[in-house]
């Protein structure tokens, strides 16, 4: 099937590509394809503010994921590192300047909440991916209570991007390059490419795509405050992420839920847990609360590849959407246009789940 799609599309000089889903994955793919001379239409009934990408925190964190998660896919860490290398080159390949999107690399601190987690970070430090901080260094984070964790580590490979600024810039770039965005719900498995006057349909609908489990997350934005950190700080599954105009606090996760209502009890829980380490959380004004729904595949890794004639899937980015999206979009665009994928990319095809449009 893959070779048949490649041969068919290679014979065309300019493709018409329909992308279902205008989150960060669909947007990055749309911009990449448009910059390669293709014709692209994005389909999504939700506004940018209603997507999971808008509800995210924009972290670029391969090291933290390596220290705190047990991947179901053996090549997940290699993929995270390859995606991080892409960010080292900057977002210029998408026609976006880093200062426009609040890109901050080497700006993350991890608080180990157990001796085992501290040992993991120390092992990573031997490979140059982390270094321990002393109490003096921690003073630069703000008013921090060192009793709430075992040890602290600077993560030179981890950083962040302002997720909302990035989504806005990508949307503007799609339109400026001649792409279209239509507020229409498209379920790729139920339509043929020709039904949309397209040569190929890409399913980038997040949790609504095949083989995905929805995971609801709840977070909030605090007003900037002198006692809050000036760097990304993560502990357990929680984080404080400073942006230019807010500090994002999150995140609570509930697998299987798709509604975006906000439970006040969860907000109180997030604040209480964060205040144990950063007491200033209690004094900061709450600007906004929200919930979003992330897509998780069975093994927690993304999906990249053909699912049928003229049907392609890009998704399952889960907690690492902003880290992974530019690199995966580059690979997906090459795949759709008939180029041979690198070996690492080929390990994440939907064939491992027997997904078919």
Tens of pLDDT, residues 330-341: 999 999 999 999
Higher pLDDT, 7 or 80: 80
CB atoms within 10 A of CB 46: 16
Q: Picking from 3-17, 71-85, 195-209, which range would have the lowest pLDDT averaged per residue?
A: 3-17
* N-term to C-term CA, the chain: 12
On the question of a cis peptide bond just before residue 200, with omega within 30 degrees of 0, the verdict is no
- SS3 state of residue 99: helix
Predicted TM-score (pTM) of the model is 0.93
Whether 120 has a pLDDT exceeding 80, the answer reads yes
Helices 321-336 and 76-88 sit at what angle, rounded to 10 degrees?
A: 90
**pLDDT for res 8:** 54
CA–CA distances in Å: residue 260 to residues 140, 183, 184, 217: 35, 20, 20, 9
**pLDDT for res 229:** 92
Chain-wide mean pLDDT for the chain?
Answer: 92
**pLDDT for res 348:** 96
């Amino acid at each position: 099937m893959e070779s048949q799609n490649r041969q068919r599309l290679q014979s065309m000089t300019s493709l018409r590509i329909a992308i279902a889903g205008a989150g960060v994955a669909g947007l990055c793919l749309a911009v990449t394809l448009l910059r390669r001379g293709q014709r692209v239409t994005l389909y999504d009934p939700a506004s940018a503010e209603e997507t999971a990408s808008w509800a995210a925190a924009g972290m670029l964190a391969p090291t933290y994921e390596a220290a705190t998660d047990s991947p179901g896919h053996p090549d997940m860490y290699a993929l995270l590192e390859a995606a991080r290398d892409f960010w080292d080159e900057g977002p210029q390949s998408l026609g976006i300047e880093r200062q426009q999107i609040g890109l901050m690399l080497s700006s993350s601190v991890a608080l180990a909440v157990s001796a085992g987690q501290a040992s993991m970070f120390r092992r990573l430090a031997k490979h140059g991916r982390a270094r321990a901080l002393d109490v003096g260094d921690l003073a630069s984070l703000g008013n921090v209570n060192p009793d709430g964790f075992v040890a602290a580590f600077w993560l030179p490979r981890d950083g962040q991007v302002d997720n909302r600024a990035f989504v806005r810039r990508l949307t503007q770039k799609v339109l400026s390059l001649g792409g279209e965005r239509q507020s229409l719900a498209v379920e790729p498995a139920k339509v043929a490419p020709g039904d949309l006057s397209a040569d190929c349909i890409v399913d980038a609908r997040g949790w609504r795509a095949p083989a995905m489990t929805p995971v609801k997350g709840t977070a909030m934005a605090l007003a900037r405050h002198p006692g809050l950190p000036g760097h990304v700080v993560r502990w357990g599954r929680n984080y404080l992420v400073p942006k230019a105009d807010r500090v994002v606090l999150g995140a609570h996760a509930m697998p299987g839920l798709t509604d975006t209502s906000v439970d006040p009890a969860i907000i109180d829980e997030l604040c209480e847990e964060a205040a144990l380490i950063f007491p200033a959380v209690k004094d900061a004004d709450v600007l906004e609360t929200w919930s979003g729904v992330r897509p998780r595949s069975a093994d927690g890794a993304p999906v990249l590849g053909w699912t049928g004639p003229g049907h392609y899937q890009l998704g399952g980015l889960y907690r690492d959407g902003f880290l992974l999206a530019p690199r995966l979009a580059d690979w997906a665009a090459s795949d759709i246009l008939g180029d041979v994928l690198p070996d690492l990319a080929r390990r994440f095809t939907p064939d491992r789940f027997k997904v078919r449009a």
